[in-house]
Amino acid sequence: MKRTVGVQASILTLLMASSLAVSLVIAADTSQERAVKYILATVQAFRTVYSKAIVEHVQKGGVRPSENWHKDDHAIMLNAQFVKAAGAELKDFELGLIGLTPIYKFNLPKTQAEADALKKMMASPDFKVLTFADGNQFKGLAADHAIVQACVDCHNSHPSSPRKDFKQGDLMGAIVVRINNK
């Protein structure tokens, strides 16, 4: 009898310990997911302000966004370059832009899980943001659609672009955030 109680008690302790461990893991995942979603929302907000307020405003004064902006005093960076330049300033996590048919190969998804997530977004407009664990990182993707014709025109006519048939509204790629698991 005593032995049965002892065994039951240790099973109970084991169960409690493992459920605590599981809830800690879930809590950790949830906070990573929230962090990634907040970062994506912030990047999208800054990018919108850059495109709508800054780019539109300077165009009235004859300044245009251009890929080779650094060689031209009357040009500013493209919004994709703005996001990537901000990403280059970050030390604790990665921020970038990816596409399945990117202008430059260095903007391809870095892993199969990223490619799969992008394909999932491609297949359904319901997936605007996707978050997932991938190796020793936790990642988030925010869908990047051709909201204006200029996105389509530039990508379709860019000499390095492998895809020439984008239409307005198409998914062109995604903003990606990669944070390291502790």
Q: Which is nearer to ligand HEC, 28 or 41 (CB)?
A: 41
Length of the chain: 182
Pick one of 104, 111, 169, 180: the residue that binds ligand HEC (CB under 6 A): 104
Partnered with residue 132 across adjacent β-strands are 139
In 136-158, which positions are buried (b, 16+ CB within 10 angstroms) versus exposed (e)? ebbbbbbbbbbeeeebbebbeee
Pick one of 107, 130, 131, 138: the residue that binds ligand HEC (CB under 6 A): 107
* Per-residue binding letters, 54-93, with ligand HEC (x by CB under 6 A): -------------x----------x-xx--x---------
Q: Determine the size of the site formed for ligand HEC (CB under 6 A).
A: 22
CA dist., res. 133 & res. 138, Å (int): 4
Residues 6+ apart with CB under 8 A from 139: 36, 113, 114, 117, 131, 132, 133, 176, 177, 178, 179
Q: Which is nearer to ligand HEC, 29 or 108 (CB)?
A: 108
Partnered with residue 65 across adjacent β-strands are 76
The answer to whether the beta carbons of residues 80 and 88 sit under 8 Å apart is: no
Q: Which is nearer to ligand HEC, 2 or 167 (CB)?
A: 167
Pick one of 173, 176, 177, 178: the residue that binds ligand HEC (CB under 6 A): 173
The answer to whether the beta carbons of residues 179 and 36 sit under 8 Å apart is: yes
Q: Please report how close the Cβ of residue 92 comes to ligand HEC at its closest, in angstroms.
A: 21
Residues 115-154 within binding reach of ligand HEC (CB under 6 A) = 144, 146-148, 150-151, 154
Binding residues for ligand HEC, per CB under 6 A?
67, 78, 80-81, 84, 97-99, 102-104, 107, 144, 146-148, 150-151, 154-155, 172-173
